[in-house]
Structure 1
Amino acid sequence: MLKNLPSESKAVAFGLTAVLLWSTVASAFKIALNYVPPIILLFGAALVSVIVLAVILQCQGKLSLALKQLAQLNLNTFLLGLINPVFYYLILFEAYDRLPAQVAQPVNYTWAITLSLLSVPILGHRLNRRDLLGLVLGYAGVVIISMAGKNVTGHLDPIGLALALLSTLLWAGYWLLNTKSKKDPIIALFHNFLISLPVLSLLILFWPTIEMQWHWQGLTAIAYVGLFEMGLAFVFWQLALKHTNNSARIGTLIFISPFISLFLISAILKEPLQLQSFLGLGFIITGVVIAQRQT
């Protein structure tokens, strides 16, 4: 069906598919976390992701190359695997476990603002007035969304909010460290998740008491997260970037995701949406757009 479409139309189709998939994962996170702790959610999702990425690489004829490159893994690759998925998703899932989804999900989008901050020491960029305005608007949105979360649960979880913000630091740092990588992005992601499995296995062995409820809803949510959030959505996004001559235009599609996600959170999780959630998200997206122009 897509074969006869122009290249830019294919890019939009792939980009929108990725955006729609990412719009569902906040709800999937919360459903899975109702049944299993963050460490089990991450291990299960990472395992599914490794299988999915291996199948994709096999279809592309790159699996043998990816396996051969395992012998060339260095310390930098191992560290990137520790950041994503191990530390990033553990912290993100813990934040989701503590916060309403309509708070954790928009706050996670401030990673693009964090990226502009980290680009100063790492890439030597300078913050100008536009960047500072983006930072102010973005983090003002975080404050507004925190108020919305307090209306939903009756209290504000400062640890959960701090973890959500810390996850943005890890995610932005991960992408900045990846700027010089020449490895195929899908192979790189496959290596990351492959590295994570033995690390997560050790963490599970030494983790404090783990309480789980083995229900089909939790297992389905784990598989969904591994299949779409950590696997197929990324592949569709890479295909979108491959088929476009204007990556900035395709990049703007991502801003549709958090708004769709809020409505899904309301419909699936039955969280009462707050006006502050939309207002705060508007501030965050505006801040991200302004900050990204320079980064």
Structure 2
Amino acid sequence: MSRATATATGFIAVLLWALLALFTVGSSPTPPLLLNTLCFGIGGIVGLIWAWATGSVPQMRTVPLRVYAFGALGLFAYHLLYFSALRLAPAAEAGLIAYLWPLLIVVFSGLLPSETLKAGHVIGAILGFSGAALIISGGGAGLSTEYLPGYLLALLAAFTWAGYSVLSRLVGSAPTASVAVFCIATSLLSFPLHLMFEETVFPTTALGWASIAGLGLGPVGFAFYVWDIGCKHGDIQLLGTSSYAAPLLSTLVLILAGIAAPSMTLLWATLLITGGAGVAARASFSSN
């Protein structure tokens, strides 16, 4: 596979992640842990089929257990927080806050050994968090206490995924096929917790089931595999930059689907969060 093809393959993940909020809303009223169980079960099966078809199964046996544990916990924690946030707050607004993770990855990376936290990183963080504050404050009209739990979970999700992504550099690399094990483990971890803490509620419509299938096949399934290929064999800087378009694309999808209404608050929050990530990324590129 050429570098250009691998980069284009990785960009598919950004397009799929733009559908994450849409499918999460469509899967309602399925509770978060059950949703984790179902969609990651689908994503894991997709990965196992892919690993078998490409002859990658033997590679999976060489991965250290700590890498599998770390990967599974990262996927489990982020998506549980994300799904919970979108059950408690408006999808567009909560999704935007969760999409602070590209910005946070850049900022956190600047704190690693041999890296430097530059002024552009700080400015980008201020812009991004200003966008989140605009949402939480209801566009300046006052604190949106009704949706505050959802917004806080979305913010925690952003920090969780950013921390997981940066710390994964210290844990060790793994072949793309290992993502299937991450997904299966996430599903198996979520199921007993669902039985302990949630009421079992399945979708009552074909749209609900289609949304769960869409999640498992796309944003929390196929997306992880194509992103891994892109990051390992494509232009990682170009892919990193493309990920900053995810919050913008996600918001546009929700508006086009009629789930979110266009507003100046949503517009400014989107521009601040996306722009903040771009400013921070530019600071990183200028130091290379």
TM superposition score category, shorter chain reference: 0.7 to 0.9
Q: 1:108 to 1:180 in 2, by over 3 A?
A: same
Q: Which residue of 1 aligns with 2:255?
A: 266
Q: Among the aligned pairs, what percent are the same residue?
A: 23
**Match in the other structure for 1:170:** 160
* Residue 249 of structure 1 pairs with residue 238 of structure 2: yes
Match of 2:86 in 1: 96
**Distance change in 2, residues 1:169/1:124 (3 Å):** farther
Q: Distance in 1 between matches of 2:30 and 2:237?
A: 38
Asked if 1:179 corresponds to 2:166, the answer is no
Aligned residues: 282
Residues 1:64 and 2:58 are matched in the alignment: yes
What are the within-5 Å matches in structure 2 for residues 223-234 of structure 1?
223-234=213-224
3-state SS of the aligned residue for 1:290? helix
**1-structure distance, mates of 2:44, 2:95:** 24
**d(CA) in 1 for partners of 2:56, 2:121:** 40
List runs of 5+ in structure 2 lacking aligned partners. none
2:119 and 2:246 map into 1 onto residues whose CA distance is: 28
Runs of 4+ displaced beyond 6 Å: none
SS in 1 for 2:131: helix
1:162 Cα deviation after fit: 0.7
130-139 vs 251-260, greater mean Cα deviation: 251-260
Determine the structure 2 residue equivalent to 1:31.
26
Whichever residue aligns with residue 81 of structure 2, its letter is: I
Which secondary structure state, in structure 1, belongs to the residue aligned with residue 257 of structure 2?
A: helix
Distance 1:238 1:213, change over 3 A: closer
Partner-residue secondary structure (3-state), 1:284: helix
Shift, 1:46, TM fit: 0.8
The separation in 2 between residues aligned to 1:103 and 1:8, in whole angstroms, is 35
Q: Find the aligned partners of 1:23 and 1:120 in 2 and give their Cα distance.
A: 26
More helix, by proportion: 1
Q: 1:42-53 residue pairs with structure 2 within 5 A? A: 42-53=36-47
Residues 273 and 101 (structure 1 numbering): CA distance in 2 closer, same or farther, change over 3 Å? same
Amino acid at match of 1:134: G
Instruction: Give the whole-Å Cα distance in 2 for the aligned partners of 1:185 and 1:291.
Output: 29
> What TM-score results when the alignment is normalised by the length of structure 1?
0.84
Return the offset for 1:129. 2.1
User: Alpha carbon RMSD of aligned pairs, Å?
Assistant: 2.7
Q: After the TM superposition, which residues 1-295 of structure 1 pair with which residues of structure 2 at under 5 Å, given as runs? A: 7=2, 9-11=4-6, 13-32=8-27, 34-66=28-60, 68-69=61-62, 72-74=64-66, 77-82=68-73, 84-119=74-109, 123=113, 125-147=115-137, 156-244=146-234, 246-292=235-281, 293-294=283-284
Q: Report the secondary structure of 1:186's partner residue.
A: coil
Cα contact 2:44–2:182 (8 A) shared by 1: no
